[in-house]
Amino acid sequence: MNNRFDRGHALVVIDVQKDFCPGGALPIENGDAVVPVLNRWIAQAVASDVPIYVSRDWHPVGHISFAESGGAWPPHCIQDTDGARFHPDLGLPSSVVKVTKGVRFDHDQNSAFDETGLAMKLRRDGITTLWIGGLAQDVCVLATILDARREGFDVILIENATRPVTLAGGEKALQEMLDAGVRLTA
């Protein structure tokens, strides 16, 4: 599918943060490869007057998802640390809407829709269709996309703008997305 931004469309960028890129606390192989791809989509969105929503994983110290607290992950994206910053080369215009998640003490929020109010915000902004990329394909991108479909949004995954934690996880995630009615673009 070609890039056909239209009225009611939005670009959604998930968790492109330093800790998820090589050298970070929870590095995803070639995680930083999504940056130049997304920068082209961001530039197109700006040129087409398509709004951009950007999520960030933003954990308190000792978060429930960290191994030290019985969770699955090494500490990462701790609030106000360097690793929690967006990748420095990500070309975000000042007009982006930021969605902060992973802040809750009682559960992790892999999905950008999980108790963030994002679905309401998108509806208020007149959005029906989401073009989505970011990190990681088999964790937060997957959870966000499945919630987006449950919330009734049309979803297009930008395939070369995402990378998985594991290859097998990425393939499984892609199948789950397709089963949920997600469309794909290069």
Q: What residues make contact with ligand VGL under the rule CB under 6 A?
A: 15, 26, 57, 65, 73, 135-136, 139-140
In this structure, are residues 14 and 112 in contact, taking their beta carbons and an 8 Å threshold? yes
Q: What is the DSSP letter of 44?
A: H
Which residue among the candidates 18, 19, 21, 140 is catalytic per the annotation? Answer: 140
Nearest distance from C-beta of residue 59 to Zn ion, angstroms: 6
Which residue among the candidates 77, 101, 108, 147 is catalytic per the annotation? Answer: 101
In this structure, are residues 85 and 18 in contact, taking their beta carbons and an 8 Å threshold? yes
Catalytic-residue membership of 147: no
Cα(104)–Cα(157) distance, rounded to whole angstroms?
A: 27
Nearest distance from C-beta of residue 66 to ligand VGL, angstroms: 9
Catalytic-residue membership of 140: yes
From Zn ion, ligand VGL, none, interface partner of 139 (C-beta below 5 to 8 A by class): ligand VGL
CB atoms within 10 A of CB 123: 13
From ligand VGL, Zn ion, none, interface partner of 50 (C-beta below 5 to 8 A by class): none
Nearest distance from C-beta of residue 56 to ligand VGL, angstroms: 9
From ligand VGL, Zn ion, none, interface partner of 136 (C-beta below 5 to 8 A by class): ligand VGL
Give the CA radius of gyration of the chain. 15
Nearer to ligand VGL, 49 or 107 (CB): 107
Q: What DSSP letter does each residue of 78-109 carry, written as one string?
A: BTTSGGGSBPTT----TTPEEEEES--SSS--
From Zn ion, ligand VGL, none, interface partner of 135 (C-beta below 5 to 8 A by class): ligand VGL
Nearer to ligand VGL, 57 or 147 (CB): 57
**List of residues contacting Zn ion (CB under 5 A):** 57, 102
Cα(13)–Cα(1) distance, rounded to whole angstroms?
A: 19
Cα(66)–Cα(143) distance, rounded to whole angstroms?
A: 18
Enumerate the active-site residues: 15, 101, 140
